Amino acid sequence: MQEFIETWGYFAVFLGSLVEGESVIFVAGFLAHEGYLSLAKIIVIAFLGTLFADQVLYHIGRHYGPRVINKFPSIQPKADHAFKLLKKYDTLYLLSFRFIYGIRIISPLIIGSSGVEFIRFTILNFIAALIWSVGSCVAAYYFAHLIMDELHLLPKVLLGVALVGGGIGYCLYKFRKRRA
């Protein structure tokens, strides 16, 4: 099992970081704590993956943005929301979109299609990708440390609590979305 994790774990981190990959990063942080993966390597790979994905999506948005969005009408509400946030918060949005659930993937498309300059996006994307990768990986690593070393709790108990909490959160989200 260790050989499998060492072989495919970093690849999974890269793939997960291309999309909303916090769950993959979280698992990788635990695996780094347990000695299966290197924390430094998962930070670098997560950084490169998220930076690469957002740069590609920015360029797609810059060259084909309106056509892509019009081709998929189901993403129009998320695109409208992302565009409003970009107009309202500008630089803050450019630095934080990867932390906003539900619009993380569409945001670079919107940013590219809105005319934000390439160099400005690249610099802010670099900074945000660095914050996201270091913050997410280190937080997962130290959360694993807290659970496994400090609290001496069974991971299964915490997993159960997380699943129940996640289920409740999901139900509340769906309820709120229906009421809106």
Read off the pTM.
0.78
Ordered DSSP codes for 52-108: HHHHHHHHHHHHHHHHHHHH-GGGHHHHHHHHHHHHHHTHHHHHHGGGSTTSTTHHH
Write down the domain spans for the chain. 2-153
Residue keyed to tokens 């229906």: 178
For 48-97, how does the pLDDT look when each residue is reduced to its tens digit (9 = 90+)? 999 999 999 999 999 998 898 889 888 889 899 999 999 999 999 999 99
Share of the chain above pLDDT 90, in %: 52
User: What pLDDT band is residue 114 in, cutting at 50, 70 and 90?
Assistant: very high
